[in-house]
Structure 1
Amino acid sequence: MSKKEIVYLLSDSVGETAEFVVKAVATQFIRREFEIRQNSYVDKVSDIEDVIVEAKQTNSIIAYTLVIDFLKDYLNRRANEEKILAVDLLHPLMDAFITKFNREPIREPGLMRKLDEHYFQKVEAVEFAVKYDDARDIEGILKADIVLIGVSRTSKTPLSMYLAYKGYKVANIPLVPEVPAPHELFNVPRNRCVGLVITPDKLNAIRKERLKTLGLKPEASYARFERILEELDYAEKVMKQVGCPVINVSNKAIEETANYIIESLNMERSF
């Protein structure tokens, strides 16, 4: 029998969990080197049998993270028959969860990777929202899952960030009478663009408060009522031209507006 010390890793997914645990244990054995042989996406007994045959010829351990019962049972039986040490890295803790919390696992491989992918999707969406905030880069209009348009202080940026946290790539475009709306906006499918409007009184109050925090006088053109009416009128014309749904955000929380947008988007996708 070969004296080489080998740990065979078997997983019905990528096998990162098994590798991490085994390496963490191996580091506790100073001046010893263990060869780790990874076997990912094990989904049939022949995959297990190949490892059993090889492990019989070596000084080895099998460590596994199999959540599918028939594969786990087959491995345990064959390892016992061949007197190979096989270590289940997941099920002692899984059994503890079942006993203590009275819940049954769904036993689906690869869920951890799916969770990781969802996390990185969120990160990517947040980076997208920052990059394409306030029309900094017009290219974002055609790349976005959702495009928000509206005059200044209609919650476009906080709404973009909230939707990004939900995993949606969002670009937002301010509508200003003196600046023509980018032509890319009119090429966006209407169900991916949302117009945000607000009552003149509410917008006037928000802008005055904004000027105050900036140390500016509330009489500035930015908060002047006539100017606000002009901007809202222009924004309404653009939104009609785009043909997008319009939401009045006057008395809505960010979460409420975001949920409405997500529901509308999902409804359109279902057809």
Structure 2
Amino acid sequence: MTKLHLHLLSDSTGETLEMIAKAALSQFDAVEVERHFWPMVRSQQHLDRIMQEITHFPGLVVFTLVNPDIRRSLEESCAEANMPTVSALDAVTESLSLALGQEQLHRPGRQHQMDEAYFKRVEAIQFTIAHDDGLMWEEWEEADIVLAGVSRTSKTPTSIYLANRGYRVANIPIVKESPPPPNLFRLKRPMVVGLTTSPDRLIQVRRNRLLSLNQAPETAYVDKEQVEDEVRYARRMAADNNWPVIDVTRRSIEETAAAVINLYNERRTQMSPRNAGTNPV
């Protein structure tokens, strides 16, 4: 198995760099990667301290640094240590510069500036947390998206992920013995999406959940016949109300959220083509 030390340096939070590295690494098998994460690198003194650790664990250095002096120092130090460096955003930034006819501003962390969109994302997160698990159903009409599904179909983490993208999300568990509030079926503004999964996968997830809580793993909550009945009930509810359904059995949270966003954009296209493909914030 190939082993690699991967050093990720950023002059901001490093969130973008981490996502790029994760996406790239997913294309390789049989590798053991030890990541070294270095955020907020904005001074020569900080870089000097980091270089001691980097040279102790030589590998590939990937960075997003806009300060030309710090960037040059990093590249020269790595060249002396015979370590390759990659600037993760150069190609995109240079292409944008040509397309826009502008020079880049060389401002670290500018994507995290607290503009109007930032505060709207914060509001979306607050709304989503307040409307988790069926809470405050009287305000669901204010949501952009409502996720509905049986217990343990990733409704909450998907909601939070979408909220971080600026969508106001509510979610509700579909429980056969406790029907949802009637206004769920009268919503006009939000898009209601059903989340489902295979009964076998659902039983596995629920059993692991019970074990993590030190509870008996053999209850009606994981009974195969009852779980299958739950899933059928939720699917029937979605079909009766013309809700789109996403099967999360083999999807990550990110993939489920991407599918929801695609559905949301398609709905906006049908309602108003001018708004297609735009984030609500």
TM-score, normalised to structure 1, is 0.58
C-alpha deviation, 1:181, in angstroms? 1.9
Retained in 1: the 8 A contact 2:141–2:189?
no
Retained in 2: the 8 A contact 1:191–1:245?
no
For 1:124 and 1:266, the matched residues in 2 are separated by 21
Retained in 2: the 8 A contact 1:190–1:244?
no
* Bigger mean CA deviation after superposition, 190-199 or 243-252: 190-199
Change (3 A) 1:134 1:161: same
For 2:259 and 2:207, the matched residues in 1 are separated by 28
Gaps of 5+ in 2: 1-67, 73-89, 271-281
- Find the counterpart in structure 2 of residue 227 from structure 1: 226
Which structure has the larger Rg? 1
Change (3 A) 1:149 1:158: same
Counterpart secondary structure, 1:244: coil
* RMSD between aligned residues: 2.7
- Find the counterpart in structure 2 of residue 195 from structure 1: 194
For 1:243 and 1:270, the matched residues in 2 are separated by 18
Number of aligned pairs? 172
Spell out structure 1 runs of 4+ moving beyond 6 A: none
How big is each residue's C-alpha offset from its partner over 1:6-58, in whole Å with a ceiling of 9 and x where there is no partner? Answer: xxxxxxxxxxxxxxxxxxxxxxxxxxxxxxxxxxxxxxxxxxxxxxxxxxxxx
- Aligned ranges 1:129-148 → 2 under 5 Å: 129-148=128-147
For 1:238 and 1:260, the matched residues in 2 are separated by 20
Q: How many percent identity over aligned positions?
A: 43
Matched, 1:166 2:175: no
- Find the counterpart in structure 2 of residue 128 from structure 1: 127
- Aligned ranges 1:146-157 → 2 under 5 Å: 146-157=145-156
- Aligned ranges 1:42-121 → 2 under 5 Å: 103=97, 104-105=102-103, 116-121=115-120
How big is each residue's C-alpha offset from its partner over 1:145-199, in whole Å with a ceiling of 9 and x where there is no partner? Answer: 0000000000000000000000000000100011112111111249701000100
- Find the counterpart in structure 1 of residue 264 from structure 2: 265
- Find the counterpart in structure 2 of residue 35 from structure 1: none
How big is each residue's C-alpha offset from its partner over 1:76-115, in whole Å with a ceiling of 9 and x where there is no partner? Answer: xxxxxxxxxxxxxxxxxxxx9xxx99742599xxx99x96
C-alpha deviation, 1:227, in angstroms? 1.6
Gaps of 5+ in 1: 1-95
Aligned AA for 2:200? Answer: D
